[in-house]
């Protein structure tokens, strides 16, 4: 068993007030010596992380080690180093004391009614201090904004941030690319038009991004086109991050009322008139181009490649004087992952699917006499997903065996232990998914249930079919297919899996 020392500092300002990492470590070590701790000491350090959240790297590692029985004592300088909010402080205290002993250097913490009252009061005071600190900090930030200083979002393509003046200076090389993007969008040529094609062209020309890594994506080009900073108006205080924890998941901050925005004038790269033309084109682009394909695809949005599990999109292919249409497993969005390149002629797949649908619509009772259910038209995909999960679990077992063998290597113990925790968590999650999936399969894997469910869908679809039968165009057929079919998985011309609702 080991003794843990946990230290935390969130800002340089706290370090100036005496909460520096080395000072905390020294005081905690002295406390360990005073308590005559003679076992191994493990230090957990969160540098530059607020105490108002639970998601802290070293704290999460400490909590995992405590749960695994590695730690028997935890030493912290002060309760506000452990947490800055009463609720989080109480959660952590209860969790730690469930497994081991908790000690503070600057607080005589006793688990008595008086001790708990004092402990909670300290948490409330710390929370109040944090709120006041944030208020003073935000007041100073807003004052800097009103003085025309840049305080946030200083990594802007086309500019360099000048730390001495807190202002943007134009980066001539990047600014030329910004002008080129606007020019190609406002005055498109036949080969390059729209954010996606501009992003593709930038990648083909090997033009680097701001961070000099990765590829240009259409969303990046679109953000540049929509950013008023390029016409000389940099907007600050636009979003509210208060109460939002920046974790691993993608999050969207709340947008403040426009009356709270602060506009700072910066050197313009784009003429305001050109910028406004670009905004007009962006506003009407969806209305102008949505649904205007000359060829309508019957199975649009339904086809998926069974090999690489990516969507298959319609594409026109011209060979000499002949034009064909294909469902194509290849992503045309610049910056996205490419598919496997499979292509299937639309007319062939359309006929296969429509023949199945029309057979059911003309004679819904044919379900009793045919093997259409066994032909996977109602395949829920449970077997495929269960096999995938079982395969993943088998790989995890093999990986754990290899990791346990590596535990005998002293220099790798720390890394191996961390990897084992991650792998075990993943295994637990997959086992839970597998159990739920098998339960769903047992509930749904009844022939009569599946047949009744299909009949209910067919009843609605058949009423529509007979109502439109005299003039059934591509739009009506597409509507019927989408009523019945959830997804079509394509492997080849002879291997088409139709999945219904």
| Per-residue 3-state assignment (H helix, E strand, C coil) for 269-283 | CCCHHHHHHHHHHHH
φ, ψ of residue 318 to 5 degrees: the values are: -105, 125
pLDDT level of residue 332 (50, 70, 90 thresholds): low
Q: How far apart are CA 43 and CA 29, in angstroms?
A: 10
Q: How far apart are CA 356 and CA 308, in angstroms?
A: 25
Largest CA distance in the chain: 93
* Lowest-confidence segment of 3-17, 330-344, 402-416, 424-438 by average pLDDT: 330-344
Q: Give whole-number Cα distances, 282 to 61, 194, 345, in Å.
A: 47, 9, 34
Q: Which of 10, 20, 358, 446 is catalytic?
A: 10
Residue 175 has pLDDT above 90, yes or no: yes
Query: Between these two residues, 11 and 23, which has the higher pLDDT value?
Result: 23
Asked if residues 420 and 403 have their Cβ atoms less than 8 Å apart, the reply is yes
Ranked by mean pLDDT, which of 3-7, 293-297, 494-498 comes out on top? 3-7
φ, ψ of residue 412 to 5 degrees: the values are: -105, 0
Query: Between these two residues, 347 and 455, which has the higher pLDDT value?
Result: 347
Query: Between these two residues, 490 and 52, which has the higher pLDDT value?
Result: 490
Residue 114 has pLDDT above 70, yes or no: no
Class of the 159-289 domain?
alpha beta
Half-sphere exposure of 196 (CA within 13 A, CB side): 6
- What pLDDT shows up at residue 307? 83
Asked if residues 261 and 236 have their Cβ atoms less than 8 Å apart, the reply is yes
List where CATH 3.90.1750.20 sits in the chain. Answer: 159-289
Residue 250 has pLDDT above 60, yes or no: no
Averaged over 34-53, what is the pLDDT? 87
Partner residues linked to 8 by β-bridges? 46
Q: Give whole-number Cα distances, 131 to 52, 134, 144, 236, in Å.
A: 10, 5, 20, 22
- What pLDDT shows up at residue 429? 86
Residue 7 has pLDDT above 90, yes or no: yes
Is 285 one of the catalytic residues? no
pLDDT level of residue 468 (50, 70, 90 thresholds): low
Asked if residues 460 and 434 have their Cβ atoms less than 8 Å apart, the reply is no
Ranked by mean pLDDT, which of 9-13, 42-46, 120-124 comes out on top? 42-46
Strands of the sheet containing 485-492, edge to edge, are 303-305, 485-492, 495-500
Q: How far apart are CA 418 and CA 64, in angstroms?
A: 10
DSSP 256: P
Question: What is the topology classification, in CATH, of domain 2-141?
Answer: Rossmann fold (3.40.50)
User: Please, what is the average pLDDT of the chain?
Assistant: 77
pLDDT digits (tens, 9 = 90+) for 446-464: 555 555 656 666 666 666 6
- 487: which 2 tokens? 């997804």
Asked if residues 253 and 161 have their Cβ atoms less than 8 Å apart, the reply is no
The answer to pTM > 0.75 is no
Averaged over 37-48, what is the pLDDT? 89
């Amino acid at each position: 068993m080991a003794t843990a020392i946990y230290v935390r500092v969130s800002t340089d300002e706290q370090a100036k007030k005496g909460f520096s990492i080395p000072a905390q470590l020294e005081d905690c070590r002295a406390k360990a010596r005073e308590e005559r701790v003679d076992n191994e000491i493990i230090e957990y350090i969160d540098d530059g992380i607020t105490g108002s959240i639970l998601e802290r790297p070293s704290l999460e590692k400490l909590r995992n080690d405590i749960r695994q029985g590695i730690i028997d004592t935890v030493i912290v300088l002060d309760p506000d180093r452990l947490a800055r909010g009463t609720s989080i402080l109480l959660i952590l205290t209860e969790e730690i004391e469930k497994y081991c002993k908790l000690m503070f250097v600057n607080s005589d913490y006793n688990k008595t009614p008086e001790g708990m009252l004092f402990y909670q009061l300290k948490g409330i005071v710390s929370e109040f201090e944090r709120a006041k600190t944030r208020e003073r900090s935000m007041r100073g930030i807003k004052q800097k904004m009103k003085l025309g200083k840049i305080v946030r979002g200083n990594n802007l393509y086309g500019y360099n941030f000048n730390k001495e003046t807190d202002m943007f200076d134009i980066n001539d090389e990047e600014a030329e690319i910004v002008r080129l993007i606007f020019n190609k969008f406002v005055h498109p040529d036949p080969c390059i038009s729209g954010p996606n094609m501009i992003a593709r062209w930038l990648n083909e020309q090997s033009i680097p991004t701001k961070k000099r890594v990765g590829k240009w994506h259409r969303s990046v080009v679109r953000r540049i086109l929509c950013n008023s900073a390029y016409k000389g108006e940099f907007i600050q205080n636009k979003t509210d991050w208060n109460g939002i924890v920046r974790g691993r998941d993608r999050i969207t901050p709340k947008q403040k009322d426009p009356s709270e925005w602060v506009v700072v004038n910066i050197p313009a790269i784009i003429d305001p008139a050109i910028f406004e033309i670009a905004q007009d084109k962006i506003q009407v682009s969806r209305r102008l181009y949505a649904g205007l394909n000359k060829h309508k695809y019957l199975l649009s949005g339904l086809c998926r490649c069974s090999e690489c599990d990516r969507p298959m999109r319609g594409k026109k292919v011209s060979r000499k004087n002949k034009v064909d249409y294909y469902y194509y497993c290849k992503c045309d969005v610049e910056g996205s992952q490419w598919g496997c390149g499979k292509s299937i002629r639309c007319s062939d797949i359309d006929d296969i699917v429509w023949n199945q649908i029309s057979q059911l619509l003309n004679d819904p009772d044919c379900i009793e006499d045919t093997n259409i259910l066994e032909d996977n038209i109602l395949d829920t995909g449970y077997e495929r997903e269960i096999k995938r999960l079982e395969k993943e679990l088998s790989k995890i077992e093999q990986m754990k065996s290899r990791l346990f063998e590596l535990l005998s290597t002293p220099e790798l113990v720390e890394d191996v232990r961390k990897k084992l925790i991650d792998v075990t968590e993943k295994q637990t999650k997959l086992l839970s998914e597998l159990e739920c999936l098998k339960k769903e399969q047992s509930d749904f894997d009844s022939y009569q249930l599946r047949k009744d469910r299909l009949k209910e869908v067919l009843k609605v679809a058949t009423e529509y079919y007979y109502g439109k039968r005299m003039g059934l165009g591509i739009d009506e057929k597409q509507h019927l297919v989408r009523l019945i079919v959830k997804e079509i998985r394509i492997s080849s011309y002879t291997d088409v899996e139709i999945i219904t609702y």
